[in-house]
Structure 1
């Protein structure tokens, strides 16, 4: 009798021990599954590569905002760093504070490189902005008087851009071959003796009351309600050299994230945006 009781107790103990081990195993498996899920989630969040791009106000930042959600699909978190002048974006890029910038054309970047010993390079031309001359006082170029004051940007590449604009519209003549390197000293003919006032690019639109003609990009004319196609006295003819371009450094221009940004910026969404929202621009891709 005692022997039978002992056998029953022993069997019961083994069953309980087995249940306990099974419960422990299940609990451990559940914990492992939870850990794996957490690890996967962490991995997913870490897969987003942050790309910092310096820019100026619309349409530059507007284009970046347009492609920002598209880049999430590519595993990229686009951080847009909007700056207040046209020097900071290149300084930030050269000093590796940002990965790229989007606000300038190639001649402007080349002038910066030459002045600062930097190595900023083009990655993707995005759009051409119709450079034009506006006046609050006159309705046509023919009305401009002798000695009229023409306000132009004060940086060398955009001085050249302005002079080429005037030459294309038969207002001045330049020394042959100077092209995008033109300076005021290269003017060979100025029949009406136009006077040039050099002003910071970002403040040109404030000169509308003081100057007889102001040369501006659409980004600075649009806040004044002005359109190159409707309101300008003169408009540039095709000058691809001045296309607004995504820039990086020589050491990171081939980075996959930057190349993916370039791909998105030449995509159909950007093309449609430029054609519908910024009619004084046209795609450069």
Structure 2
């Protein structure tokens, strides 16, 4: 089966890329990490106006993946998976005019960016509650503000399993976008950096590393696309878990290769690449660890 986006989906992807490319998302992410949410919230409003926050309830999983890949590629900060993927399904409500976040232990033990969210919720024993915000924890990715939360009042909820799977798929698309960005920036760098009178990108070892990343991302993309197309099917849980594993592995490989080809400068926080390296490291374990998702895939295969 060959899958490709239709014209409307391609136009949507192009529009998002243009908007985000001109929005200085790097500055917004750095400000968010430093505690200044104003640029990130302005970007949130811009994307909400273009329908990104309404996709979970007004579009298909394919459009959700298109949007979240763009968010990952441009390093947009904020609780996007929580507010624009999980909670609209969990609450069966349009949350396009608000920012919300949620903790879903054990896979999401902390509420992301509860300091900027108007609504904070928590799942406990397959039940959704409003939540009170507690202690803040430091994430490896400084643009991710993690908070302990305590369940308060029960809230009527929809299909939490469906909501969780859409969140997993959205995180997979984010990882795919981040991996693509790291690869693109790495390719650009190795064409500019010279050593011993040659571009370092001309060396076979560098070419092979980046080619391996290209292959990994190309193998992950069909799994993400396939999970989106078949999201309403009976194999949804297996498919989104397979997508999360593949996208996480590919993005992590891109991070390792990107760090290596950039050399010593790759270890500095001043380099913009660091924003994506840290985001990938955090997202790999967000919304279920690789071990959890591999177990779900195995369980599905054994059952069939």
Q: TM-score range by the shorter chain?
A: under 0.3
Higher strand share: 1
* Greater C-alpha radius of gyration: 1
Name the one with the larger helix percent: 2
Calculate the TM-score normalised by the size of structure 1. Answer: 0.27
Question: TM-score, with normalisation over the residues of structure 2?
Answer: 0.25
